[in-house]
Structure 1
Amino acid sequence: MQLGIIGLPSSGKTTIFELLADNSSLASNSAKANLATARIPDHRIDFLSSLFKPKKTTFAQLEIIDVPSLIPGMAKNTAQFLASVRKADALLQVVRVFENDNIPTLSGEINPVKDIEAINYELLLADLDLIEKRIQRINENKKKNTMLKELGLLERIKDTLENAKPLSSMDFDEEEQLLLANYQFLTNKPILVCLNISEEDILSDEYDGKIDLYEYAETNGINFIEVSASIEKEIAQLDEEDKRIYMEDIGIKESGVVKIARLMYSSLGLISFFTVGEDEVKAWTINDGTVARKAAGKIHSDIERGFIRAEVIKYEDLHDLKSVVLVKEKGLFRLEGKEYIVKDGDIINFRFNV
């Protein structure tokens, strides 16, 4: 799964990318997409690691792409931007809200709503172009009568896009979803808007245009998070104790980067199950709705093939009792079969025989 980080020049997009990747030397080429792996912070892994004291602790991870900044009106740049966006499974759009005379903007003004619309417009145009070309091919096809269902669906999507509404605003039944499965649409990707705010404004919780921005987001169904990249950079440079003290001093309970990572992980429909022991405590990433046998295959294909049972403990039960022995004594330890749907936070030991 890949998360594409998008935005206009000087939005702070690359800074957010570096913070998510926990590496400030990754983005070496602003004209090309840069790749990295982001660790998904999880307090549950922290607790399990403190409980089992393993030799190794492994968090869930997500591949992230620093997509080249969009420069509206430049055809080559737009093509590179759209090509990178197509590879992503979800998008994080970084939007500049902060004022800084030393960092110029393309338009010469700070206008978050206009910046959001500039990128959304390109995504809509790309989907509309794809739809129109497909409609034309169907109309020219001698077997058009066998594709009327698809044609009607595409015409409905075309009307939606022409009214400046994304595909994500539409509802599709199972048959329609199958018809669209092979299309690489852009406006149906999960998207989170990251408002990059100055340190002063995020601490005061006030900035120019805030009310208008909130109203626009509500009207258009836009999910957003407010982050100060400058504060996040300071936090990233501190050790854990200094980090805790600094965040308490400025009144922040949780790092914005941690919030972004968690929100984007869930927006992709991903969950984590855990394996624990003295050697390693590890978070394994699976799609929500995955059955136990398939989840076992994430660890090793032999475990999936020889699956017998899954020994399952709810994270909350272990957290409350702080002992596997006590969990078993309380009757909270379960044996599940291959069709059991794994829940987020399940602690699992797979029984298998090959």
Structure 2
Amino acid sequence: MRLGIIGLPQSGKTTVFEALTRSVAADGNRQESRIGTITVPDKRVEILSDMYHPRKTIFTQVEYFLPGKGDHGGAAKKDQSIWTQVRDCDALIHAVRHFSGYGFGAPTPREDMAAIDQELIISDLVVVEKRLERLALDERRGKKPSPEEVALLERCKEHLDNETPLRRFPDIVTAKLLRGFAFLSAKPMLILFNNEDEDDALPDAASLPDGEECMVIRAKLEQELAQMSDEDAQEFLTEFNITASATDRVIQRSYDLMGLISFFTVGEDEVRAWTIGRDTEAVDAAEVIHSDIKKGFIRAEVLAYDDLMVAGTYAEARKKGTVRLEGKTYNVCDGDIINFRFNV
């Protein structure tokens, strides 16, 4: 999973990135694009590893991407490089300033959110209009375009002309014909209100956008926390009433926002977590491991993690009848432990 961090100048994007990735760059490198890869914490993987004592234990990972600095609120030409950089991200994290201080005016979160959405919408509108022009040209040359694609693009144009981000329309977001366009305003977005150290509250209701996923981060505080030893960090968490680190909270909200779950494979060689979308069928989950497993799929031997914890061992779970065989169309559940049977 790759998450792009965006926001207006002075929103604290870099501080958010460093808080989430537990990294600090030299001042000279802060103008460049940065990538930070974080292991997704999952106690279930740790417990399974303790049970099986594998040679390798592999957690899933999240990649945070901070595009090179640019003036998000400036001319469109300056912004295009930033939007091009984040177009291949799975979702966007929008850092919104919600702090005051020397050199800063009062925060204006709703206006800041609207400004970034406007940039995303303009970028998508350019893509839609170019594609529609190309399809119209093809039609004049005798090549008949897909009526379904044209209809979808015209719907996109209508929504974008009305200054509405495409993420508000699930049928457009999930349309297979539009996947290759990687529309920016269609990407899932988590809004992070970057608060002052002593403030852990969301902005007032009038500043909150309708239907958007929002949470608070005290980025400067969390950045300092990320550089501490585990012992000092725990004391820090208690002092500032932080129940979990920003990294853990943002990852969990990102998984929820994107509808992601984890299943596990276990054995003496390896205990591993795999990330898939909710309602993924067993045959497609198999492909995440290897395309050959999907090709030769026979059955999926499935045991729920909670059932294994109750039974104590895999063998005991078999005796209790909680290990079951499922076919290709079984919808994998979060926490399923799966052994794929296949033949190629």
TM-score by length of 2: 0.85
Aligned to 2:164: 165
Output the CA distance in 1 between the equivalents of 2:109 and 2:130. 32
Query: Cα distance 1:226–1:169, how it changes in 2: closer, same or farther (>3 A)?
Result: same
- Show CA shifts across 1:181-212 (max 9, x none): 4333211111110111111112xx37xxx21x
Cα separation, partners in 2 of 1:19 and 1:46, compared to 1, 3 Å:
farther
| Offset, 1:263 | 2.0
Spell out, residue by residue over 1:298-345, the C-alpha distance to the aligned partner (whole angstroms, 9 max, x if none).
334554455443321101222344433332232211122344332221
Distance 1:158 1:314, change over 3 A: same
Aligned-partner Cα distance in 1 for 2:166–2:197:
35
- Is the 1:18–1:27 Cα contact (8 Å) retained in structure 2? no
Q: Which residue of 2 aligns with 1:194?
A: 192
CA contact 1:7–1:69 (8 Å) conserved in 2: no
CA contact (8 A) 2:10 2:97 kept: yes
Among all aligned residue pairs of Structure 1 and Structure 2, give the percentage whose two residues are the same amino acid. Answer: 41
Shift of 1:111: 1.8
Alignment match, 1:252: 242
Q: Secondary structure at the match of 1:121?
A: helix
Which residue identity lines up with residue 317 of structure 1 in the other structure? Answer: D
Shift of 1:4: 1.0
Show the counterpart of 2:109. 112
Runs of 5+ unmatched residues, structure 1: none
Residue 224 (structure 1) aligns with: 214
Which of 249, 256, 271 is 1:281 aligned to? 271
Name the CA distance, whole Å, in 2 between partners of 1:80 and 1:328.
Answer: 55
Matches within 5 A, 1:59-78: 59-71=59-71, 72-78=73-79
Give the SS at the match of 2:252: helix
Deviations 1:84-120 (A, max 9, x none): 121212101111112232xx55xx5532222211211
Kept after mapping to 2: 8 A contact 1:318/1:324: yes
In terms of mean alpha carbon deviation, does 39-48 or 292-301 score higher? 292-301
Confirm or deny: 8 A CA contact 1:8 1:70 kept in the other structure: no
AA aligned to 2:6 is I
Q: Which residue of 2 aligns with 1:271?
A: 261
- Structure 2 regions of 5+ residues with no counterpart? none
TM-score by length of 1: 0.83
What is the total number of aligned residue pairs between the two structures? 341
Alpha-carbon distance in 1 for matches of 2:162, 2:224: 43
Superposed CA RMSD in Å reads 3.1
State the distance in 2 between where 1:193 and 1:298 align. 29
Against the structure 1 CA distance between its residues 333 and 185, is the aligned structure 2 distance closer, same or farther, given a 3 Å change threshold?
same
Taking the aligned partners of 2:132 and 2:292, their CA distance within structure 1 comes to: 46
Change in Cα spacing, 1:75 to 1:297, as seen in structure 2 (3 Å) is closer
8 A Cα contact 1:8 1:69, kept in partner: no
Counterpart of 2:126 in structure 1 is 129
CA distance in 2, matches of 1:346, 1:28: 46
Residue identity in the other structure for 2:16 = I
Q: Greater shift after overlay, 25-34 or 252-261?
A: 25-34
Matches of residues 1-354 of structure 1 in structure 2 within 5 Å?
A: 1-25=1-25, 29-71=29-71, 72-101=73-102, 104=103, 108-140=105-137, 141-142=139-140, 143=142, 150-170=149-169, 172=171, 177-202=175-200, 205=201, 210-211=203-204, 214-218=205-209, 220-353=210-343
After alignment, is 113-122 or 308-317 more displaced? 308-317
Partner Cα separation in structure 2 for residue 352 and residue 156 of structure 1: 43
Deviation at 1:37, TM superposition (A): 2.0
